């Protein structure tokens, strides 16, 4: 014996599925293109010739930017920019990412408001680029760093990853 099909339920599920997926790729693509345009106004290096890496850690995260293979001319620009923004972030000035991603970027308000004992931001040169280490000293700040990294990954799309890829 078969059970009767609830046509109303099926229609609701189909409609909900269509609404959940309609426009997602275009909206994501539009957002990433907007972030890319805004980033070109703030970052002095080529997004096409560099790779952003956002690795979450247990106590915060590490943001790296490195030149792609054959783009060694980008290294000095990467280092200059990351050094500058690390100093700004240490002073709780997040105006550069606010210009790129918007003032409502997840996690940014908490990072901006973090006390000196709650968030440490340091820069260092690495082979082929530079990196910024974000050390959260409270669970709330660590969570804010992780939300901020997730937003960076979503907004930068193909220009960012959560791990360094071989040959990049």
Spatial distance between the Cα atoms of 120 and 160, rounded to a whole number of angstroms: 23
Spatial distance between the Cα atoms of 52 and 66, rounded to a whole number of angstroms: 7
Counting residues of the chain whose pLDDT is more than 90, the rounded percentage is: 39
Per the CB < 8 A criterion, the answer to whether 145 and 107 are in contact is: yes
Q: Which of 111, 76, 66, 68 is nearest to 91 (CA)?
A: 111
Spatial distance between the Cα atoms of 46 and 51, rounded to a whole number of angstroms: 9
Counting residues of the chain whose pLDDT is more than 70, the rounded percentage is: 65
* pLDDT for the residue numbered 8: 42
Q: What is the pLDDT along the chain (168 residues), one digit of tens a residue?
A: 444 444 443 333 333 333 333 333 333 677 556 555 655 555 666 777 888 899 999 999 999 999 888 888 899 989 998 999 999 999 998 887 766 666 778 888 999 999 999 999 999 999 999 999 999 999 999 999 999 898 888 876 676 778 754 444
* pLDDT for the residue numbered 125: 97
Main-chain dihedrals φ then ψ at residue 63, nearest 5 degrees: -105, 125
């Amino acid at each position: 014996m078969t059970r009767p099909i609830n046509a109303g339920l099926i229609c609701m599920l189909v409609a909900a599925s269509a609404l959940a997926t309609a426009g997602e790729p275009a909206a994501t693509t539009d957002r990433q293109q907007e972030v890319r345009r805004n980033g070109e106004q703030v970052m002095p290096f080529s997004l096409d010739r560099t790779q952003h890496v956002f690795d979450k850690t247990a106590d915060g995260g590490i943001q790296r930017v490195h030149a792609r293979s054959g783009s060694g001319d980008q290294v000095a620009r990467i280092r200059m920019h990351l050094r500058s923004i690390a100093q700004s972030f240490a002073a709780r000035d997040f105006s550069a990412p606010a210009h790129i991603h918007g003032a409502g970027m997840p996690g940014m308000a908490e990072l901006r408001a973090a006390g000196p004992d709650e968030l440490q931001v340091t820069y260092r040169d690495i082979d082929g680029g530079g990196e910024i280490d974000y050390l959260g000293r409270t669970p709330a700040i660590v969570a804010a760093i992780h939300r901020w990294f997730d937003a960076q990954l979503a907004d930068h799309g193909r220009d960012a990853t959560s791990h360094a890829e071989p040959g990049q």
